[in-house]
Amino acid sequence: MKSTHHKLKKILVIDFGQVGDVVMSFPALSEIRERFPASEVVVLAGKTPGALVRELNLAGRVIAVDRVELLRGSKLGSIGKIIKLAREIRRERFDLVIDLHSLYETNVLGFLSGAPHRLFADRNNRSLNFLGNFKPKPPAYDESLHLADNYLNVLRPLGVDSNGHLAIKIELDRALVGSVRKKIFVETDQEGKLIGIAPGAGNPSRRWSLENFAKLSKRLANRERRIVVFLGPEEEAEIDRVRDLLGPDALIVPGLTLSELAAAFSQIDLLISNDSGPAHLAAVVGSPLVLVSDKRAPVTYVPRAEHLEVVQTGEIDSISVDDVYAAVEKLLSELSRDQRTKEEKEPKED
């Protein structure tokens, strides 16, 4: 395949996971663009994660579709939509299709694309491996590996080695960061620490209660700390309740796009979050993270943050405020110690 790299003018990457899944595919997207610098790399993703990929300039172009409608509608309806989308993609004349997430529906879509080269993830009973034609084939999905490494393993036939990838990190556009800083943090005390809270989660089994977050924030807040609460679309309907629970001193931030949320996370000192998409965003922009996670959640999906504390002491409803508070104080203490060590090592001016 290496000898044909220069012939691959257009590459389609099917990246059909949810927001957190797509964030964990960022290293794979970076590897694809690095290996094919002269090719147009187009990402096909759901509307919300697709917008994030577009706004963070992680692909040359993004085709965003209604993922839920495509995958969870009636069978006949889904087949009809896949056929319609396949016709549109076929007209693009892609040379290579890479399906990172690999579902039955997306494998069919990749096959119908007409691309002469098709590299599909092998997800055991969730993919149609016979529709791919890339040789050698990628290794089968390994349940013991982190999702980011499984995505990178799909690219092994292209010469990508997944070993050594730890924290996932991206650089944000400075103009975006500056705009978000003015929009949100202009009135905050820049001398104090900004402690973020992301109380949302798509699944109730991953959602620590708002009451617990409120109790935690009141214990953490003091003159040197400001609590910033980031609300997603689901939580915005409860904004009055959030204000009542968190009190007047908490800064409530609704209505951010995912890229704005990522920029906001890059400006705080620590984020406390449920196991959800925002936690993964915080990790990729380098924000220290305390993750509140149900003990049943697989560790292979944990965000790859450089500074991370995972509170997984029980099922989500049984995790105590004391446990999360202790994790926050531990991580803040470690960060302060690391900062002091860094300052001591820096050369002093005469």
By residue range, what is the domain housing residue 126? 2-158
**Average of per-residue pLDDT across 250-262:** 93
Confidence of residue 224 (pLDDT cuts 50, 70, 90): confident
pLDDT at 166 (0 to 100): 59
Same domain, 303 and 258: yes
**Average of per-residue pLDDT across 296-317:** 92
- What's the domain count of the chain? 2
Same domain, 12 and 100: yes
Confidence of residue 187 (pLDDT cuts 50, 70, 90): low
pLDDT at 137 (0 to 100): 92
Confidence of residue 170 (pLDDT cuts 50, 70, 90): confident
Same domain, 245 and 122: no
State how far the Cα of 324 lies from the Cα of 6, in Å rounded to an integer: 52
Query: Per the domain annotation, does 350 fall within a domain?
Result: no
Same domain, 111 and 180: no
pLDDT at 271 (0 to 100): 98
The 10s digit of each residue's pLDDT in 259-289 is 999 999 999 999 999 999 999 999 999 999 9
- Listed residue (279, 292, 280) closest to 212, CA to CA: 292
- Residue 3 pLDDT greater than 50, yes or no: no
Same domain, 220 and 299: yes
Query: Per the domain annotation, does 313 fall within a domain?
Result: yes
- Residue 287 Ramachandran class (φ > 0 left, ψ -120 to 50 alpha, else beta): beta
CATH value at residue 316: 3.40.50.2000
- Residue 1 pLDDT greater than 60, yes or no: no
Same domain, 32 and 141: yes
- Residue 347 pLDDT greater than 80, yes or no: no
pLDDT at 215 (0 to 100): 95
Average pLDDT, the chain: 89
Query: Per the domain annotation, does 303 fall within a domain?
Result: yes
Same domain, 197 and 291: yes
- Residue 5 pLDDT greater than 60, yes or no: no
Number of Cβ within a 10 Å radius of residue 62: 20
pLDDT at 82 (0 to 100): 81
- Residue 76 pLDDT greater than 50, yes or no: yes
- Residue 79 pLDDT greater than 50, yes or no: yes
The 10s digit of each residue's pLDDT in 21-69 is 999 999 999 999 999 999 999 999 999 999 999 988 899 999 999 877 7
Query: Per the domain annotation, does 84 fall within a domain?
Result: yes
**This prediction's pTM:** 0.87
* CA distances (Å), origin 33, targets 42, 99, 100: 10, 15, 14
**Average of per-residue pLDDT across 175-192:** 81
Which of 158, 186, 219 terminates a domain? The answer is: 158
Same domain, 291 and 243: yes
